[in-house]
Structure 1
Amino acid sequence: MNHPDMLRKAGLHTAETAAPALGFTVSYATTGKLLLSLCIALFLAALVALYRLRQARSIWPALGGFSLAALAGALATLSGEAADYFLPLIVARTVIAVATPILMLLRLPPAGLVAGLITGRGLAWRRCPVRLRAFTIVNSIWFALEASLLTNQLRLYHEGQAVAMGVFKLLVEVPAHLLAAIVLWLIYRRLTNRPCHGELCPYHLTLGGRGGMTTTLSH
Structure 2
Amino acid sequence: MSAHGPQGPQDDDRSGPGVHEPAGSAAEPERDASKEAAETVLKAFGGVRGMIDMTLPGLVYIIAFNITHKVPAAAWSALALCAVFVVVRLVRRETIQHAFSGVFGVAIGAWISMKTGKAEDFYLPGLLWNVLYCAGLAVSALVRWPMIGLMLGPITGEMFTWRKQNPGRLAAYTKATWAWVLIMGLKPVILFPLYFTHNINLLGWLKVALGIPPLLLAMYVTWRILLTAPPPIKAELDEDEQAPEK
Quote the Cα distance in structure 2 between the aligned partners of 1:42 and 1:173: 18
Q: Identify which of 166, 182, 207 aligns with 1:128.
A: 166
Tell me, in whole angstroms, the C-alpha distance in 2 between the residues paired with 1:69 and 1:18: 11
Q: TM-score scaled by structure 2?
A: 0.71
Give the alignment partner of residue 81 of structure 1, picking from 96, 114, 118. 118
Distance change >3 Å, CA 76–CA 54, structure 1 → 2: same
Asked if structure 2 preserves the Cα contact closer than 8 Å seen for 1:128 and 1:203, the reply is no
Deviation at 1:116, TM superposition (A): 2.2
Instruction: Work out the percentage of aligned pairs sharing the same amino acid.
Output: 25
Specify whether residues 149 and 35 from structure 1 end up closer, same or farther in structure 2 by C-alpha distance, changes over 3 A only. Answer: same
Following the alignment from structure 2 to structure 1, what is the Cα–Cα distance between the partners of residues 184 and 52? Answer: 17
Q: How does 1:14-53 map to 2 (within 5 A)?
A: 14-53=51-90
> Which amino acid letter does the alignment assign opposite residue 43 of structure 1?
A
Q: 1:102 aligns with which of 139, 147, 150?
A: 139
Cα pair distance change 1:173/1:18, threshold 3 Å: closer
**Count of matched residue pairs:** 197
Q: CA deviation at 1:60?
A: 4.2
Aligned match of 2:106 in 50, 69, 73?
Answer: 69
Structure 2 gap segments, 5+ residues each: 1-34, 236-246
Q: Distance in 1 between matches of 2:143 and 2:218?
A: 24
Deviation of the 1:93 alpha carbon: 1.7
Question: 1:6 aligned to 32, 40, 50, which one?
Answer: 40
Stretches of structure 1 lacking an aligned partner (at least 5 in a row): 205-219
TM-score, structure 1 normalization? 0.79
How do 1:102-181 and structure 2 match up within 5 A? 102-119=139-156, 121-126=158-163, 127-181=165-219
Q: Closer, same or farther in 2 for the Cα pair 1:117/1:29, shift >3 Å? A: farther
Equivalent in the alignment of 1:207: none
Contact 2:113 2:122 survives alignment (8 Å): yes
Give the partner amino acid of 1:202: I
- Measured after TM superposition, the shift of residue 81 of structure 1 is 0.7
Q: Which amino acid aligns with 2:184?
A: E
By how many angstroms is 1:65 displaced? 2.2
Using a 3 Å threshold, how does the CA distance of structure 1 residues 117 and 93 change in structure 2: closer, same or farther? farther
